[in-house]
Amino acid sequence: MVARELHFLYLDTGAMYRAVAYLALQTRTDAGNGAELLRICEEHPIAVSLDEAAPLGFTIAAGGRDLADADLQSKSVTAIVSTVAAQASVRALLVELQRELARNASVVMAGRDIGTVVLPDAAVKIYLDASVEARVERRRAQLAAEGAGADARALAEEIEERDRLDKQRPVSPLRPAPGAHLLDSSNMTAQEVTREIVAIVARAQEHLRA
């Protein structure tokens, strides 16, 4: 929604790590073996195309096969994606791809290390947060819209464990970037979050023009 308002392209970098996790499952590769993960990425290259007309705002493929959102968001992928994302070799490969995309277009880029590692010199950095309770309800609503149910306690445990792993990983841990705008969306609608971020961008643009 922010990308549409700003007429920028959009990329959720988490989908790239999920694509690697999907590959790991398909090839029965150990999610904690960075060297083997890098090998399967070389054999089945991850390709991202920024496309405003695509449902997600981008398309992602592995080894020439387009991956659907259902592939990337499956429970089996979710269970191992934090382990995959903790591998330094995988992060180095994907970070370079992400930087290349940003060099070629104005992008709203979402991910857990964008402001700290991928694009530390970005003109605007947002650390978007929400309570576990709010995130559980949003995920349950998303699953319900897809015709699936989920146990609130299990979802909360899954979210908390993923946060713990991402905050404690030695490579690119999750934390607010220096100079980032901290935005707690727990009690905000998506439209309110969008308006707030667009306003932050507008103020930054005014400052650059001054």
Report the distance separating Cα 37 and Cα 45, nearest Å.
Answer: 11
- Reported as half-sphere exposure (CB side, CA atoms, 13 A), residue 44 has a value of 20
Give 110's pLDDT tier (boundaries 50, 70, 90): very high
Report the distance separating Cα 2 and Cα 159, nearest Å.
Answer: 24
Query: Which amino acid appears at position 6 of this protein?
Result: L
Pick from 2-11, 39-48, 49-58: least confident? 49-58
pLDDT value, residue 56: 78
Q: Is 159 helix (H, G, I), strand (E, B) or coil?
A: helix
In the predicted structure, residue 149 carries a pLDDT above the cut 80: no
Tokens representing 17 are 């790590």
pLDDT value, residue 190: 94
Question: Over the chain, what is the mean pLDDT?
Answer: 91
Cβ–Cβ under 8 Å, residues 60 and 15: yes
What is the average per-residue pLDDT within 186-200?
96
- Domains in the chain and their CATH numbers? 2-209 (3.40.50.300)
For 170-190, the pLDDT digits (tens) are 878 889 999 999 999 999 999
What is the average per-residue pLDDT within 20-30?
96
Residue by residue, DSSP assigns 44-101 as: S-EEEEE-TTSTTSEEEEETTEEPPHHHHT-HHHHHHHHHHHT-HHHHHHHHHHHHHH
In the predicted structure, residue 7 carries a pLDDT above the cut 80: yes
